Structure 1
Amino acid sequence: MPKKNAFYAQSGGVTAVINASACGVIEAAREHDDRIDRVYAGLNGIVGALREELIDVSQESVDSIAALRHTPSGAFGSCRYKLKSLEQNRAEYERLIEVFKAHDIGYFFYNGGGDSADTCLKVSQLSEKMGYPIRAIHIPKTVDNDLPITDNCPGFGSVAKYVAVSTKEAALDVASMCDTSTKVFILEVMGRHAGWIAAAGALAQETEGDAPHVILFPEVAFDKEKFLARVQKTVEEKGYCVIVASEGAQYEDGTFLADAGSVDAFGHKQLGGVAPTLANMVKSELGLKYHWALADYLQRAARHIASATDVEQAYAVGRAAVEMAAAGKNAIMPTIERAPGPDYDWSVGEAPLNEIANVEKMMPKEFISEDGFGITAAGRDYLLPLIQGEDYPPYHNGVPQYAKLKKVLVEKKLKEGFDV
């Protein structure tokens, strides 16, 4: 393939380390200047491509790109915009190919979860049919840790570390006040269908009986009576009870405890807050004083407490995506492969997108304790290596210093716009 430009975009909910993947892509692309000319980034993800709003990454300094490695959120802007199927809206995909062709883009790097893997695959397939083949590589990213095949997903390790640390610190607070104050503390974490993040709360435990005392997973049907009995027993025995609850906790019939009655741009149900729902149960049924907290954006933006393992893996899959594309590979995703054995070792592998797109990886049953309120030794063995190591950003005047990009847009070449 002759020398072409590359396009990179960030998709969906951002993470503490997605920009480390961006750093890996851009630095590797600059090293492959025999294959890749310029790197463009979508302003606000794939929406930037549809609107022909392309950031000229060559306008960013070497230092600014390097600083992406320790910068949270999506430096180029992300979006929650799901492209429909080819049958429903072929025009969207054709528009992408037209924009890529107008700007001589031959490489497409899409950094996101299952939905973006699907988009990446479709762009690869349609571009061939339209006579302008694009090498499309999906770069894994999701705090939910629910992409298949890959051992884990960049973004998850740092959220897991944040949740484990927050659970431990909050538990110490509650324990110190439980004699005359709060008896129950509930931390609500992300995880719509998969309970990986909630499971990470268990890493706060150092000895048997430590908090959290109850974990609620989407994979385990919520039993109100069983839950309240466990809370009551824990308070009686320890004086307090700490709960980590996944936002996707649901009843046996699949109804979410916190169904808000609406859906987001991806067609997912909007969840209205499982923590206050549980708190109301505790208050009305048990009469116990409570506090609850919603980790929300804090858990995925906390770069100051990121896992060093997570940062390294995020950067590695970004670099690998470029290496794979330069080697002529297409419609694949770099994966993280865990070596067998007691010592944690990993490497970068690859998987075809038709086995990745729109497939969710749930918590295995063998990772969840028999009573459904905790994790097993196997679950702990899986999770613990992913939160190892610290990778602090530089600080100035007591706060972290993060990258600030110019985000200079290239001149549009297509006369007609595109409504998004």
Structure 2
Amino acid sequence: MNAAHRPTNAFYAQSGGVTAVINASACGLIETARRHPDRIGKVFAGRNGIIGALTEDLIDTSHESDADIARLRHTPGGAFGSCRYKLKGLDQHRVQYERLIEVFRAHDIGYFFYNGGNDSMDTAWKVSQLSETMGYPLACIGIPKTVDNDLPHTDSCPGFGSVAKYVATSMREAGLDVASMAATSTKIFVMEVMGRHAGWITAACGLASEAADEPPHLLLFPEIPFAEAAFLARVEDCVKRFGYCAIAVSEGLHDADGRFLSDMGTRDAFGHAQLGGVGQVVAQLIRDRLGYKYHWALPDYLQRSARHLASKTDVEQAYALGRAAVELALAGRHGVMPGIVRTADAPYAWEIGVAELKDVANVERKMPREFISADGFHITDRCRAYLAPLIAGEDVPPSRNGLPDYVRLKNIAVPRCLEVFTV
């Protein structure tokens, strides 16, 4: 799309819930852009995601040293700020999209990179459509990111492998703790993990168990409607056989009628039901019906921000996708998303593929039924073969005074030149 070869600036933004490796994608993107000064001028980042573009609150990353940009690869969170803000339909809220183009034109931006999940890919697709309609030369590239691992047309999503490693490790360690005390104390341990409609993170907990007596003994997936009687029978059997029962449950667990067990009755900025506390709901059910003492845990933000335990595979893929986004834009691609293509399981091998944004936007990839055991309470060997490479390897961040040494960028603003726009 950006036919002229004079240098134009790039816009990059982070969207949605951040991860342990989203900054690795930013690192890959910015470092690659800096290697092409003849094609890309400056990389501007949106402060707090797409809101930064709408309000003309742009960050000039050229003020950051090469060393600090490199440190992004080891730093969790969103270095430029993220947001949960979904642009509405192109027809009903065209003014917002036209504002984006106005800001891009004012700052000579010819490249648009949006780093996020399902809703973010929809935004990137809409922006690409509008740029064509308005005749504004803009290369629009989506960069996949979501701990939920639910984007289509990519074998895995950056952020997921590190969450998977964290929850599997936590389940194994907590399981040893509970097993130590089960004879005289807690017999039930429930860990609630993220995953509204897709049970990939719940499945990852299953990697901690390599034998029937090892935790987690039961997994509760959003793909499998919760059946109370069958579940309680399995819990009772586990306690009788092993002395305790460890369970991982997805926040999106629902009953046969589709009702979330933990619907808080409120909605987030994307209009999704806000969930929380299903771990306690399940644990209390066991207490009420079977009388067992329980503990439950909610890793919450800890699972997605645990850079100290990140998967090496995840870090490498996140960086590679940031780099690939720039390379695609420079090659003249538009309205696309780079993704991971698995070429082999053992030994694991992968390469970069490309998908059309229109085929990715607002599509959720759930756990395939063949990845879930016939009884619905655990994972299959096929699922293990898929998951295992994604948690492989260590990429320990540098430390200082006994703690991880993460970078905090200066994030110097670009001077505004347009009228104020209210979001």
TM over 0.5: yes
- SS of alignment partner, residue 181 of structure 1: coil
Q: Kindly report which structure 2 residues correspond to 1:87-236, keeping only aligned pairs within 5 A, or say none.
A: 87-236=91-240
In 2: Cα distance, 1:417 partner to 1:278 partner = 49
Corresponding residue for residue 293 of structure 1:
297
What is the letter of the counterpart of residue 65 of structure 1? I
1:312 aligns with 2:316: yes
Aligned counterpart for 1:42 among listed residues 18, 42, 46: 46
- Counterpart of 1:248 in 2: which secondary structure? coil
Q: Distance in 2 between matches of 1:32 and 1:155?
A: 27
Give per-residue Cα distances to partners, 1:359-410, cap 9 Å, x unaligned: 0000000000001000000000000000000000001111000011000001
Deviations 1:180-203 (A, max 9, x none): 000000000000000000000011
Deviations 1:152-192 (A, max 9, x none): 00000000000000000000000000000000000000000
The whole-number CA distance in structure 2 between the counterparts of 1:253 and 1:141 is 31
Tell me, what secondary structure is at the counterpart of 1:345?
strand
Secondary structure of 1:191's counterpart equals coil
Whole-Å Cα distance in 2 between the matches of residues 328 and 164 of structure 1?
41
- Where do 5+ consecutive residues of structure 2 fail to align? none
Q: Secondary structure at the match of 2:28?
A: helix
Q: Which residue pairs with 1:66 in the alignment?
A: 70
How far apart, in 2, do the equivalents of 1:396 and 1:181 lie? 39
Show CA shifts across 1:246-294 (max 9, x none).
0000001110010111110001101131011011101111110000000
The TM-score normalised by the length of structure 2 is 0.98
For residues 135 and 118 of structure 1, the distance between their equivalents in structure 2, rounded to whole angstroms, comes to 15
Render the CA deviation track for 1:115-158: whole Å, top value 9, x for unaligned. 11111111111012112121000000000000001000000000
Paired position in structure 2 for 1:334 = 338
Inter-CA distance 242–117: structure 2 relative to 1 (3 Å threshold)? same
Q: Contact 2:218/2:378 (CA < 8 Å) preserved in 1? A: yes
Q: CA deviation at 1:40?
A: 0.2
Contact 2:344-2:350 at 8 Å conserved across structures: no
> What is the CA distance between 1:206 and its match in structure 2?
2.5
1:341–1:168: structure 2 CA closer, same or farther, 3 Å change rule? closer
Identify the residue that residue 418 of structure 1 maps to in structure 2. Answer: 421
Aligned-partner SS, 1:86: coil
Superposition deviation, residue 226 in structure 1: 0.8
Q: 1:34 offset after TM fit, Å?
A: 1.1
Question: Conserved in 2, the CA contact under 8 Å of 1:214 and 1:243?
Answer: yes
SS in 1 for 2:388: helix
Other structure's SS at 1:321 match: helix
Distance 2:345 2:247 in 1: 32
Q: Match of 1:272, as an amino acid?
A: G
Question: 2 CA distance for matches of 1:64 and 1:158?
Answer: 22
What letter is aligned with 1:417?
V
Deviation at 1:342, TM superposition (A): 3.0
Superposed CA RMSD in Å reads 0.7
Which AA in structure 2 matches 1:200?
A
For residues 275 and 128 of structure 2, what CA distance do their matches in structure 1 show? 34
- Measure the CA separation in 1 of the matches of 2:343 and 2:355: 16
Q: Which amino acid aligns with 1:273?
A: G
Identity of aligned residues (%): 65
SS for the counterpart of 1:339 is strand
What letter corresponds to residue 332 of structure 1 in structure 2? V
- What amino acid is the match of 2:420? G
State the match for 1:373 in structure 2: 377
Under a length normalisation based on structure 1, what TM-score does the superposition of the two structures give? 0.99
Residues of 2 paired with 1:317 and 1:342: CA distance?
22
CA contact (8 A) 1:32 1:326 kept: no
What CA distance in whole angstroms lies between the structure 2 residues aligned with 1:90 and 1:135? 19
User: Hey, what's the Cα distance between the residues in 2 that align with 1:110 and 1:272?
Assistant: 28
State whether residues 124 and 133 of structure 1, in contact with CA within 8 Å, keep that contact through their aligned partners in structure 2: no
Partner-residue secondary structure (3-state), 2:31? helix
Displacement over 4 Å in runs of 4+: none
Query: Partner of 1:33 in structure 2?
Result: 37
Distance 1:374 1:419 in 2: 48
Q: CA deviation at 1:341?
A: 5.1
1-structure distance, mates of 2:212, 2:37: 55
Q: 2:61 aligns with which of 38, 52, 57?
A: 57
Equivalent AA in structure 1 for residue 60 of structure 2:
D
Structure 1: give runs of 5+ residues left out of the alignment: none
Answering whether residue 4 of structure 2 is matched by residue 9 of structure 1, we say: no
